[in-house]
Amino acid sequence: MEIKARAPGKIILAGEHAVVHGSTAVAASFDLCTLCSLRFHSDSENDDTLNLSLKSVGLEFSWSVGRIREALSHLGGPFLSTPTSCSTEAVRCIAALVEEQNFPEAKIGLATGVSAFLWLYTSIQGFKPATVVVTSDLPVGAGLGSSAAFCVSLTATLLAYSDSVSLDKNQQGWLAYGDSDLDLLNKWAFEGEKIIHGKPSGLDNTVSTYGM
């Protein structure tokens, strides 16, 4: 079974720089979105890899699940219902996994997003072979919340495959998370944003989570 989730970008109408320092900002979501799909590999596929395809920027990554487990299993997890910050040790271990992919120098600025992916995936789902495909209408680095939409849509697919949220996956069409589940999703997405930006305000992921 394949799960898909989408999350919108954001615009800040007022307080764009002050919000980082704890001041109030006025923001809204809009209808450009990031779409993430997740499919776990079946036993019959005999594919023990975790694959990440970032379609919009033309990047493909693949890790042996055994290699990821070797690098990260001592850090604990999965944490599921307890959003957890990526420790300094975890950052170092994940960075090593990203560096093994021979990241293109021209796109090295996206490496923190791949690190956020590895942290969110292993923290919520552990060490399972799967394929994750991400496409986006949002331009990278344009101040429109592309990283937050990435973290929110990714987290939504990961949590949908867990027992931490309540979704009827047998229905057809798009389903909405309930308020309590959105709170969990938002907290996890914020942990991804922290890996990408260091000290984000939390506004971007919150607007992306609750918008539209």
134-174 tens-digit pLDDT: 999 988 887 888 999 999 999 999 998 876 676 655 555 66
pLDDT for position 109: 86
Tell me how many degrees the CA angle 123-128-129 measures, rounded to the nearest 5: 130
What's the pLDDT at 106? 78
Active site residue 204: yes
pLDDT of residue 212: 63
Q: What local confidence, expressed as pLDDT, does residue 167 receive?
A: 66
The pLDDT of residue 117 is 98
d(CA 200, CA 99): 24
> What pLDDT was estimated at residue 161?
81
Which residue range is the domain that position 107 belongs to?
A: 2-210
Stretches in the chain below the pLDDT threshold 50: none
**To the nearest whole number, what is the mean pLDDT of the chain?**
86
> Is 162 exposed, middle or buried, given 0-12, 13-18 or 19+ CB atoms closer than 10 A?
middle
pTM: 0.89
At residue 170, the pLDDT reads 56
Among 47, 168, 179, 204, the one annotated catalytic:
204
Q: Are 8 and 211 in contact (CB under 8 A)?
A: yes
Domains held by the chain: number: 1
C-alpha to C-alpha distance for 162 and 124, rounded to whole angstroms: 8
Rounded to whole angstroms, the Cα distance separating 117 from 122 reads 8
Find out whether 52 and 61 touch, Cβ atoms under 8 Å.
Answer: yes
Alpha helices in 61-178 (DSSP H): 65-72, 88-99, 111-125, 146-160
CA 119 to chain centre: 9
Q: What local confidence, expressed as pLDDT, does residue 37 receive?
A: 96
Predicted pLDDT of residue 201: 85
Identify the CATH number of the domain in which residue 64 sits. Answer: 3.30.230.10
Q: Which two tokens stand for residue 21?
A: 């320092």
Q: Which letter does DSSP use for residue 41 in this model?
A: P
